[in-house]
Structure 1
Amino acid sequence: MFRVGFGDFFLLTVPHKDGKKHILIDCGVHAKDLGTIRSAVEQMADDCGRHLSLVIMTHRHADHISGFASCSDIFSEITVDAVWMPWFENPTNKIASAFQASLTATANQLAMRLNARGNAEAEHLRMLENITGVPDPVQGFSSNQKALDVLHNGFKNKVKPQYYKSGDQPSLPAELTAAGLSAQIIGPPIDPVLIAQMTNKAQQYLSDLTVEDDASLKPFADAFRAIETQYPDEAFEFYSADQVRQQIHDAQPLALAARAAAADKTLNNQSLVIVFSMAGRNLLFAGDAQWGNWEHFLYGGAFGTPGHTEITGQAKAILSSIDFYKVGHHGSANATPKDAVKAMRLGCCGMCSTQIDAYNEVPREPLLAALSERMNGQIARSDQVAANASLGPNTAAGPLPAAFTAPTGVLFVDFEL
């Protein structure tokens, strides 16, 4: 697990009779960029001998793919055997293409309107940029698009991506299969209703955060649209119709900001969720999956509907046997449900790639405490090691648990199963 700031960058190494084989899972940073992404990519390239058996893009957020753009010259020297992406990235899937285009268009529209008003909060603008990427004034395209171009056609060799959804049987490169590795795709679902479900307050490790609005991405619901003639005269006793109209106009940035957050999280639910198994060990990589993605895995459908009120036998079997969990969405409150934590095997271990002060209450301390208790303290944060010679560990994160190693003490954390 590399320390780059607020972003995910994991390298999984698999023993093989002909030497180690490597799987790259995401490569990006967005908020609180520590300036180490290039050093981390160079380290990864050296460690894998410029050959990756598999590259996985869990979803298209900048904090998971920006490194492919900023370090495209390094990736152009790396041979890759296979690339996996969620089904939302399949250009031949008309539903997926329309969905992504709609989200990007919505984000661009919100960004323009928030910027035009000049009073958008930086956090909300960061979320919008995470969807579309930061515009490149020289190249003329967003960094996210450049990263996607690299993933499709920017490695040393030509490799055609494979697109997966929950339940698909993935095709592993032959050398990984020969090493005894297998993989199971448990997310994302294909149901758009589940993809749109961002949160379930009862399943979150929180106390005072508000529940996000899951309505469609528009400033106001139709129920609040009306013209002044539909109101009686006494409705304007204290404020004229023009004053009410102006107040609504002035309040729109806040409503738009809420929609920005909703659009941002919709992409999280597109995350590929994968269980790797080898030699009796099981590793769960959840990307940034949020409630709808977890809901599909845990209950087999919309929680509370007939037949979907309890954790399925499959979910129990997987969670009770995991040895490693990549903590979802940097440790945010709504990305690892309580039911999932309770079902995890006692004594498993976890890694959380995170950076304090990037977003409000991320990582969520009650969640990390619950995971630590379940894992007997075997949970590591990326900020528990130095980023570089001038930026040391985050003292608030506490010391790196003994189960993990930091061979150089800088840039990355290791764990061996």
Structure 2
Amino acid sequence: MYRQGLGDCFLISLPRTAGQEPYKIMIDCGVILGTSDAAVKMTKVVDHIAADTKGHVDILVVTHQHWDHVSGFLEADTAFDRLKFDHVWFAWTEDPDNELARRLRQEQSHAISQLRLGASAMRIAGNSDQADDIENLLGFFGVAGSTTEDAMKKAASKGKVRYCDPKDPPLELADPAVKIYVLGPPQDEKALHKTLASASTPETYGLAAYGLAESAADALGPCDDSAPFGAMNAIPYSSARALDFFEANYFGPGNDAPLWRQIETSWLDSSTELALALDSYTNNTSLVLAIEFPDGDVLLFVADAQVGNWLSWQQVSWDVQGRTVKAQDLVSRSIFYKVGHHGSSNATLKKLGIEAMDRLEFAMVPVDHDMAVKKRWGKLPFDAIVAALQTKGVTVLRSDQRPTSVGKDVTITDLYMEINL
């Protein structure tokens, strides 16, 4: 796990028979927008990967379209020239030939455009705090001229592209003898839009702090652009400004205008909810992988998958050499867990997550709490999740903290944390 800041970048080395280089899997490469010297930090990460892999990576996994997972493909572009990738894996949600994926991307693009307009209107209306909140969330999609779409295209140019689906059979490697399963995202629109735990059956270690919609479906659904009143019942704005009653009671003199009486910008109140829903929905499109070893041990990488993605695994299974392998069985046999979404409350399930991981030994949390506080996400990582892991006796490594003592299987430098399993 690299320590570039609030973002993900992992390198997995799977030993092969004597005399051969390990099988290398790289997962994501990014850091949150606003990180100081981001290009320098990401270049150091990629330079180290190039040296460690001798310039060759078997699979590059790009989990989802968020800046803190993909920015490095742009910021460390030159350093990537020293790396060769055989395969590049994306989730099916990035497949240009998938009809549902195309429609979902169009809805996402429309929502981003509307939110950028909404944030600008908020700032003009004097609501700078709410505008900051929306712009922080929009930062997950980059900035003009350097967007997540640009980064995804750059990553796709690195090797042979595969769009992964949970229905796919596992990739079975002969050397090393491992199987790689795709658990998510689901091809179920309802599941993709379920981003928060329900109040009646809370699946997570805490309900989301925002207390907004239970799912992203409502916020991201079709918009009603009609005016609140018909033309026969409305007074044109310019006419109202010319009438003494409205001037006295709604506009007021000078800078003392009672803006709370006006509804011209009230449509902006839903913008924060839409921004949160869009962010969470995109997290829910995360490509989730489980790497299974011959003895049954599993490494679980969930990226930023949220509630709907996790719950969908209950329906996923494969027929492998005459035996049925269930996704939830893979979760229960995990000895390593990449903690979802930097430790957020709605990205790690309780009963079907940590409590089910009977073999769990290590968990890694790519997080930068100080940066999260600056972005007004002060509960990253969520204390209850870290506590639940530690209660099970799991060694928890946070990228933003250097533990006072570690076992012989753990190596820590300023650039990365490494576990030898």
Amino acid at match of 1:383: D
Q: 1:169 to 1:299 in 2, by over 3 A?
A: closer
| Contact persistence 1:272–1:286 (CA under 8 A) | yes
Q: Is the 8 A contact 1:283 1:324 kept in 2?
A: yes
Residues 30-56 of structure 1 deviation map (CA, whole Å, 9 limit, x = unaligned): 146253222111111111111100000
After superposition, residues 8-157 of structure 1 pair within 5 angstroms as: 8-17=8-17, 18-31=20-33, 33=35, 35=37, 36-118=41-123, 119=128, 120-131=130-141, 133-136=142-145, 142-153=146-157, 155=158
- The 2-side partners of 1:313 and 1:211 are apart by 37
1:326 aligned residue (330, 334, 338): 338
In structure 1, give the amino acid aligned to 2:346.
N
CA deviations over 1:351-408 (Å, ceiling 9, x no partner) = 110110412311111111112222x0411111124xxxxxxxxxxxx5464365235x
Structure 1 segment 304-319 matched on structure 2, within 5 A = 314-319=326-331
Question: How big is each residue's C-alpha offset from its partner over 1:261-291, in whole Å with a ceiling of 9 and x where there is no partner?
Answer: 1011111111111110124231010010001
Distance 1:183 1:78 in 2: 22
Distance 1:26-1:147 versus aligned 2 partners, 3 A rule = same
Q: Residue type of the partner of 1:127?
A: L
Change (3 A) 1:53 1:224: same
Q: Distance in 2 between matches of 1:91 and 1:220?
A: 22
Contact 2:171 2:179 in 1 (8 A): no
TM-score, normalisation: structure 1: 0.81
In the TM superposition, what are the counterparts of 1:225-374 in structure 2 within 5 Å? 226-227=228-229, 247-280=262-295, 281-298=297-314, 314-339=326-351, 340-357=353-370, 358=372, 359-374=377-392
**Could you say which residue in structure 2 is the equivalent of 1:183?**
180
Report the CA distance between 1:117 and its aligned residue: 2.6
Aligned residues: 374
User: Given the superposition, is the C-alpha separation of residues 284 and 219 from structure 1 closer, same or farther in structure 2, using an over 3 Å criterion?
Assistant: closer
Preserved CA contact (<8 Å) 2:313 2:328: no
Q: What residue number does 1:139 align with? A: none
Question: Is the CA contact 1:198–1:212 (under 8 Å) kept in the aligned structure 2?
Answer: no
Which residue identity lines up with residue 149 of structure 1 in the other structure? K
**Separation of aligned partners in 2, 1:403 and 1:247:** 65
Shift of 1:212: 3.3
Instruction: State the AA in 1 paired with 2:25.
Output: I
Q: CA deviation at 1:152?
A: 1.6
Question: 2:80 corresponds to which letter in structure 1?
Answer: F
Q: Distance in 2 between matches of 1:171 and 1:220?
A: 38
Query: 2: CA distance between counterparts of 1:40 and 1:255?
Result: 39
Amino acid of the structure 1 residue aligned with 2:420: E
Higher strand share: 2
SS in 2 for 1:194: helix
CA contact (8 A) 1:127 1:264 kept: yes
Unpaired runs of at least 5, structure 1: 137-141, 232-238, 302-311, 386-397
| Structure 1 pair 219–228 and aligned structure 2 pair: CA distance change class (3 A) | farther
Distance in 1 separating the partners of 2:263 and 2:57: 53
1:382 to 380, 396, 399: 399
Structure with larger Rg: 2
Task: Report the aligned-residue RMSD.
Answer: 3.1
Q: Distance in 2 between matches of 1:228 and 1:2?
A: 57
Change (3 A) 1:207 1:106: closer
Give the distance between the partners of 2:104 and 2:208, measured in 1 at CA. Answer: 32
**CA displacement 1:111-145 (0-9 Å, x = unmatched):** 122123312443321211213x1223xxxxx3322
SS in 2 for 1:163: strand
- Relative to structure 1, the CA distance from residue 252 to residue 59 in structure 2 (aligned partners, 3 Å threshold; closer, same or farther) is same
* Unaligned runs of at least 5 residues, structure 2: 234-247, 252-257, 318-323
Comparing 266-275 with 94-103, greater Cα deviation is found at 94-103
Asked if 1 retains the 8 angstrom alpha-carbon contact of 2:302 and 2:339, the reply is yes
Separation in 2 of the partners of 1:79 and 1:108? Answer: 35
Change (3 A) 1:32 1:288: same
Question: Residue 24 of structure 1 aligns to which amino acid in structure 2?
Answer: M
Task: Judge conservation of contact 2:205–2:384 (CA < 8 Å) in 1.
Answer: yes
Percentage identity across paired residues of the two chains: 28
Matched residues in 1 for 2:66 and 2:411: separation?
Answer: 27
Q: 1: distance between equivalents of 2:276 and 2:208? A: 18
Instruction: State the TM-score, normalizing by the size of structure 2.
Output: 0.80
